[in-house]
Amino acid sequence: MAPLTLKKITGPELLHDPSANKGTAFTEKERDALGLRGLLPPRVTTQELQMERVLDNLRKKSSTLEKYIYLVSLQDRNETLFYRVVLENLDEIMPLIYTPTVGWACQEYGHIFRRPRGLFISSRDTGKIASILKNWPNRQARVIVVTDGERILGLGDLAANGMGIPVGKLALYTACAGIHPAQCLPVTLDVGTENEKLLTDPLYLGLRQRRLHGAVYDDLIDEFISAVQQEFPNALIQFEDFANHNAFRFLKKYRNQVCTFNDDIQGTAAVAFAGIYSALRITRKPLKEQKLLFFGAGEAGTGIADLVVAGMVEEGLTEAEARRRCWFIDSSGLVVKSRMDLAEHKVPYAVDRPLINDHLAVIDSFAPTALIGASGQPGIFTETILQRMAKINERPIIFALSNPTSMAECTAEDAYRYTEGRAIFASGSPFAPVTSNGRIFVPGQGNNAYIFPGVGLGVVASQSRRVTDGMFLAAARALAREVSEKDLEMGRIYPPLAKIRQVSTAIAMATAEVAYRQGLASHLPKPAHLHTYIESLMYEPRYENYV
């Protein structure tokens, strides 16, 4: 895509504009024409050489947090180079700009702060949100990722420090699906915090107040949503890392009003569902015969189950039959009908059984084919549990999805070791390949970055007015189709990240097709060659010639 705004800036201003700066790659002609002569060292270099320098410096940093800081400052200096480095080294860099390192960066946000990035809206701004959105310099914003910082990854309430999350997610929108950086708007709603450590930290940069609750909080969210409709009427709003009671409420409230989705619920569901589809290509069993035991009945867990149920219904089960194949364990034990403490989203999954707290007893009674961990409880898939799964299944499906890596329900090594290498394993955060009994296993990462960028691109391309579950089902299937037989042979149930642009394009196609089929697309008429049209929208991190 051509630059969205051709900037007429020169000299130091050009060097300090990250979206236009090329650093030492400005050509001789450009240096003369744009008043840069003398402001740069004499030798003109290529973007490839600049990448080499960046990677060399990056690899010398002693901690992942240092690497994060280095990459963010590159993004602040030279956006094109940043995205080229990210895109061509996704395996190495995604864990630095997103989970797990971004979790650490959020915890330290006030301490490592250099420059602001994204838009901060606080509870003091009530009544003025539209005017704050007007301050955002890029009027072309098409994708907004918003958090209120209450449940950052599995790390809890990080409030204003949570800004790392929308910033990181949008960097992935650009790298993975080519959404132009000028179309991305990260937003953090600072409504206070209950985190004592932050409230007493002199370097904390958010409001020093307790969280807003009730009607005042809801009114602020309402005002934000209306202000976005006014200022950026074509924008997709992605809710991110809200606490689970709010996430479910807002999804229900806004999904039929505006173009929005919740990645923790729907994105996670689609990526996990795609993983299950791929795993079933290995076990050669239909979805409708699976029995899934979820650890964690929150946004991630019930979101996945909802999609699994939709998939089972497509295979011929009734909704009730499908739900009976999904059992949940939460912090109080098995989710059963007699419990009076169940939140609304858990009720459809409550089973007519006595309350059991012993996890092994639940496994013995249910005989699951898959364990899906979304509990934020590290190590909850114990040696005994994994051994029991291996006893009752030839190829047990074990997904330890909690983030960051330190929160995973089990490590990749344990999953393979305690199942004699028979587990089909995926995690939320990355694990290195594992060698066990002379075999190499490549753990799949059920990374939401496989799904949300492509869905976003499909929504932007079709200018869909809503985001529907049908789009996520189609996205999950498109993702599973991108897994090759060779990947499956290595136990890998997601495609390599190196293929991410191809994957995102396929998902965008699937999403846009649903938007057109469901009559939600506003980009009309439908392009005759949708694939070519979608590709033409994708940002390529290559330098433009200015003169």
Q: Which is nearer to ligand NAI, 408 or 474 (CB)?
A: 408
- At residue 195, what are phi and psi to the nearest 5 degrees? -85, 105
H/E stretch holding 224 reads: helix 214-231
Angle in degrees, CA 473, 349, 455, rounded to 5:
20
3-class DSSP state for residue 397? strand
Which one of 73, 126, 318, 331 is in contact with ligand NAI (CB under 6 A)?
Answer: 331
Q: Which is nearer to ligand NAI, 207 or 274 (CB)?
A: 274
Q: Which is nearer to ligand NAI, 178 or 376 (CB)?
A: 376
* DSSP E strand stretches across 253-300: 260-262, 292-295
Residues 420-439 that bind ligand NAI (CB under 6 A): 428
Residue 543 known to be catalytic: no
173 binds ligand NAI (CB under 6 A): no
Length of the chain in terms of residues written: 547
Q: Which of 22, 67, 169, 346 is catalytic?
A: 169
121 binds ligand NAI (CB under 6 A): no
Residue 277 known to be catalytic: no
Give a three-class secondary structure readout of 147-162. Answer: ECCCCCCCCCCCHHHH
From the list 24-32, 206-214, 227-235, 369-377, the region that binds ligand NAI by CB under 6 A is: 369-377
For tokens 């149930």, the residue is 493
183 binds ligand NAI (CB under 6 A): no
From the list 30-38, 117-125, 194-202, 326-334, the region that binds ligand NAI by CB under 6 A is: 326-334
32, 83, 16: which is closest to 546 by C-alpha? Answer: 32
402 binds ligand NAI (CB under 6 A): yes
| Cβ atoms of 176 and 192 closer than 8 Å | no
58 binds ligand NAI (CB under 6 A): no
287 binds ligand NAI (CB under 6 A): no
Residues 267-286 that bind ligand NAI (CB under 6 A): 268, 271
What are the contacts of 51-55 at 24+ separation with CB within 8 A? 51/81, 51/84, 51/85, 51/88, 54/81, 54/85, 55/85, 55/89
Q: Which of 68, 98, 204, 349 is catalytic?
A: 98
Q: Which is nearer to ligand NAI, 192 or 296 (CB)?
A: 296
| Cβ atoms of 15 and 38 closer than 8 Å | no
Site size toward ligand NAI, by CB under 6 A: 29
Residues 440-499 that bind ligand NAI (CB under 6 A): 446, 448
**Distance separating alpha carbons of residues 464 and 471, to the nearest angstrom:** 11
Using CB under 6 A, list all residues that contact ligand NAI.
Answer: 151, 153-154, 244, 264, 268, 271, 295-301, 329-331, 374-377, 380, 401-403, 407, 428, 446, 448
List the catalytic residues.
98, 169
